[in-house]
């Protein structure tokens, strides 16, 4: 257990300050939820490297920093459109420093019964649905494993206020993608924001949701929680893009529950932040589900990029396929911890996990830890983890054809990441992210001659 400072940390002091304001958001029952979540976080505090789930990531920036409650900032439409994916043809809901920005959000005619907007407005039409699911899925209580750590979910829930809600009723196919954008601009000092997203797809519903985090300026802390619920035979492609500022901390939890016959695809793209931590947890509670977890991260300078994934195979006849790739340059540090739990009743499970790290500098570091815990006997479970560098022969092949060294290296890096990016079926989003990948590689301090892996 982490010992707190004698004086309460700013993250704790903020709750006392905002308690009456938070109580005005949503039904009264939410305040009870907030109070319990705050007590859960206050009991354990900010983790240190002595905490198992954070052993490779120092969060001294959070311990030493004074993060004020999020405040308003001015962002015009031109800045939005030039931001990452800001000009995507999609049903768009925009938040600036955690506050809903209706002037930047788009208005679209939605199919009957579909809701895309804020939690605040969602309570007016779908209160029962929201209360049924909000806070019920970002929860590992009672699941296998002894190192489950939910402190940042508790912190987010304690400050639960404005957020996004996407609801697609039974049998509806939402043709146009949905994009939820969280813009951050710390031009008046460090702040902390708590984005919250709830996605509910009823039976046989289909949707594509892009969740985008963009930093425009300054030092800040983003503590995000997303819950996705897939009803029977539903299909969700969920793409999370994170391009925050180099001075920010981004800690996010994505928790998904799948009922029988559903298909869930997660595309996790992380290019920014001084420290970026992504927890992706998927619970398979129905038979014949299919789960795809795809991730690509780029770390440069002194960035730390930490990805933790977890798949709970609780029912038989389910398939999961996971591919996470990390590209690390300069002095960056990468972490991957992938857990797969196969429960006793989950016979006929097919689970495949692949994790690869590409080091573009001798000073970059990658820590990988695949974990499989299997309690059923009729299963197919595999995992593989590799760490290497660009190959001399591949680089020589491109340079022999007149391609400059840095461009040749960028091509090889893209080829490494393409397996993940190509899973994004929203073409404009995929194209924009490919361009960002090339630019990120070009920004690295040093791309030494390749060493054969």
Give a yes or no: residue 369 inside a domain: yes
Cα separation, 67 vs 256, in Å, equals 29
**Residue 442 pLDDT > 70, yes or no?**
no
Give a yes or no: residue 202 inside a domain: yes
Contact indicator for 258, 229 with CB cutoff of 8 Å:
no
**Residue 7 pLDDT > 50, yes or no?**
no
Token reading at 406: 């840095």
Q: For a pLDDT cut of 70, what percent of the chain falls above it?
A: 95
Mean pLDDT score, 327-350: 94
Cα separation, 294 vs 34, in Å, equals 32
Number of neighbouring beta carbons within 10 Å of residue 447: 19
Q: What is the pLDDT of residue 188?
A: 87
- 396-405 LR contacts (CB < 8 Å, sep 24+): 405/447, 405/449
Mean pLDDT score, 347-359: 94
Token reading at 128: 């029962």
**Residue 52 pLDDT > 90, yes or no?**
no
Locate tokens 């002095």: which residue? 331
Q: How confident is the model at residue 6 (pLDDT cuts 50, 70, 90)?
A: very low
Mean pLDDT score, 12-22: 88
- 124-130 LR contacts (CB < 8 Å, sep 24+): 126/165, 126/167, 127/27, 129/167, 129/200, 130/165, 130/198
Please name the residues in contact with 74: beta carbons below 8 A apart, sequence gap of 6 or more.
Answer: none
Mean pLDDT score, 11-29: 87
**Residue 453 pLDDT > 50, yes or no?**
no
Please name the residues in contact with 140: beta carbons below 8 A apart, sequence gap of 6 or more.
Answer: 148, 150, 281, 310
Q: Which SS3 state, helix, strand or coil, does residue 97 take?
A: coil
Give a yes or no: residue 384 inside a domain: yes
Cα separation, 450 vs 416, in Å, equals 14
Cα separation, 410 vs 136, in Å, equals 42
**Residue 348 pLDDT > 70, yes or no?**
yes
Q: What is the pLDDT of residue 444?
A: 62
More confident residue, 132 or 17: 132
| Number of domains within the chain | 1
Which residues on adjacent β-strands are paired with residue 354?
323, 384
Number of helices and strands in the chain (H, E)? 9, 21
Q: What is the pLDDT of residue 159?
A: 95
Q: For a pLDDT cut of 90, what percent of the chain falls above it?
A: 64
Give a yes or no: residue 303 inside a domain: yes
Give a yes or no: residue 434 inside a domain: no
Q: What is the pLDDT of residue 95?
A: 96
pTM, rounded to two decimals = 0.93
Q: What is the pLDDT of residue 281?
A: 96
- What's the sign of the alpha-carbon dihedral 47, 49, 55, 57? positive
Please name the residues in contact with 99: beta carbons below 8 A apart, sequence gap of 6 or more.
Answer: 70, 72, 162
Question: Among 30-34, 283-287, 393-397, which is the least confidently predicted range?
Answer: 393-397
**Alpha helices, H only, 45-175:** 60-64, 77-82, 119-133, 151-158
- 137-143 LR contacts (CB < 8 Å, sep 24+): 137/227, 137/228, 137/229, 137/255, 137/256, 137/257, 137/283, 138/225, 138/227, 138/253, 138/255, 138/281, 139/255, 140/281, 140/310, 143/283, 143/312, 143/341
Contact indicator for 236, 209 with CB cutoff of 8 Å:
yes
Which domain range does residue 150 map to?
10-390
Mean pLDDT score, 248-275: 96
For 258, phi and psi rounded to 5 degrees? -115, 125
Token reading at 244: 């925050």
**Alpha helices, H only, 56-118:** 60-64, 77-82
Mean pLDDT score, 153-163: 94
Please name the residues in contact with 439: beta carbons below 8 A apart, sequence gap of 6 or more.
Answer: none
- What's the sign of the alpha-carbon dihedral 10, 189, 298, 351? positive
pLDDT digits (tens, 9 = 90+) for 385-414: 898 888 888 877 788 888 887 778 888 888
Give a yes or no: residue 404 inside a domain: no
Average pLDDT of every residue of the chain: 90
Mean pLDDT score, 275-300: 96
**Residue 5 pLDDT > 50, yes or no?**
no
Nearest residue to 264 via CA among 234, 285, 286: 234
What is the C-alpha radius of gyration for the chain, rounded to an integer number of angstroms? 21
Cα separation, 213 vs 159, in Å, equals 19
Mean pLDDT score, 125-147: 88
**Residue 1 pLDDT > 60, yes or no?**
no
Which residues on adjacent β-strands are paired with residue 222?
193, 250
Q: How confident is the model at residue 3 (pLDDT cuts 50, 70, 90)?
A: very low
Q: What is the pLDDT of residue 445?
A: 57
Q: What is the pLDDT of residue 447?
A: 53
pLDDT digits (tens, 9 = 90+) for 177-222: 999 999 999 988 999 999 999 999 999 999 999 999 999 999 999 9
Token reading at 216: 């425009």
- What's the sign of the alpha-carbon dihedral 397, 401, 405, 408? negative
**Residue 57 pLDDT > 80, yes or no?**
yes
Give a yes or no: residue 419 inside a domain: no
Number of neighbouring beta carbons within 10 Å of residue 88: 19
Give a yes or no: residue 5 inside a domain: no
More confident residue, 10 or 105: 105
Mean pLDDT score, 329-343: 94
Contact indicator for 376, 441 with CB cutoff of 8 Å:
no
**Residue 2 pLDDT > 50, yes or no?**
no
């Amino acid at each position: 257990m982490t010992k707190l400072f004698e004086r309460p940390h700013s993250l704790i002091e903020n709750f006392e300050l905002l308690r009456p304001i938070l109580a005005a958001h949503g039904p009264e029952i939410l305040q009870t939820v907030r109070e319990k979540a705050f007590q859960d976080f206050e009991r354990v505090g900010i983790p240190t490297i002595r905490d198992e789930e954070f052993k490779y990531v120092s969060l001294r920036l959070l311990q030493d920093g004074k993060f004020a409650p999020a405040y308003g900032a001015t962002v015009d439409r031109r800045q939005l459109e030039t931001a990452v994916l800001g000009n995507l043809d999609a049903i768009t809901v925009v938040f600036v420093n955690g506050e809903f920005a209706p002037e930047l959000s788009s208005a679209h005619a939605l199919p009957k019964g579909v809701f895309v907007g804020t939690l605040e407005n969602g309570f007016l039409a779908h209160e029962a649905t929201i209360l049924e699911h909000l806070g019920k899925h970002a929860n590992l209580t009672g699941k296998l494993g002894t190192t489950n750590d939910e402190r940042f979910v508790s912190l987010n829930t304690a400050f639960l206020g404005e957020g996004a809600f996407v609801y697609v009723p039974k049998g509806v196919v939402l043709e146009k993608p949905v994009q939820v954008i969280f813009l951050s601009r710390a031009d008046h000092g460090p702040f902390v924001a708590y984005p919250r997203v709830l996605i509910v797809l009823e039976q046989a519903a289909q949707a594509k949701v892009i969740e985008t985090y963009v930093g425009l300026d300054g030092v800040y802390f983003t503590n995000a929680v997303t819950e996705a619920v897939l009803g029977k035979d539903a299909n969700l492609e969920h793409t999370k893009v994170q391009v925050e500022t180099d001075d920010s901390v981004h800690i996010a939890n994505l928790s998904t529950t799948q009922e029988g016959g559903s298909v869930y695809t997660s595309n996790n793209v992380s290019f920014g932040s001084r420290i970026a931590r992504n927890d992706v947890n998927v619970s398979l509670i129905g038979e014949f589900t299919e789960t795809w977890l795809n991730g690509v991260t780029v770390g440069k300078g002194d960035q730390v990029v930490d990805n933790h994934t977890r798949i709970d195979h609780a029912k038989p006849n389910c398939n999961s396929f996971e591919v996470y790739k990390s590209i690390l340059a300069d002095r960056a540090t990468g972490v991957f911890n992938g857990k797969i739990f196969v429960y006793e009743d989950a016979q006929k499970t097919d689970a495949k996990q692949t994790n690869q790290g590409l080091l573009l500098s001798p000073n970059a570091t990658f820590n990988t830890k695949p974990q499989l815990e299997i309690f059923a006997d009729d299963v197919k479970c595999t995992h593989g983890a590799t760490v290497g560098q660009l190959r001399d022969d591949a680089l020589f092949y491109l340079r022999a054809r007149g391609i400059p060294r840095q461009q040749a290296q960028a091509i090889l890096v893209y080829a490494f990441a393409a397996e993940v990016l190509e899973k994004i079926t929203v073409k404009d989003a995929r194209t924009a992210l490919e361009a960002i990948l090339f630019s990120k590689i070009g920004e690295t301090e040093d791309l030494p001659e390749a060493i054969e892996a």
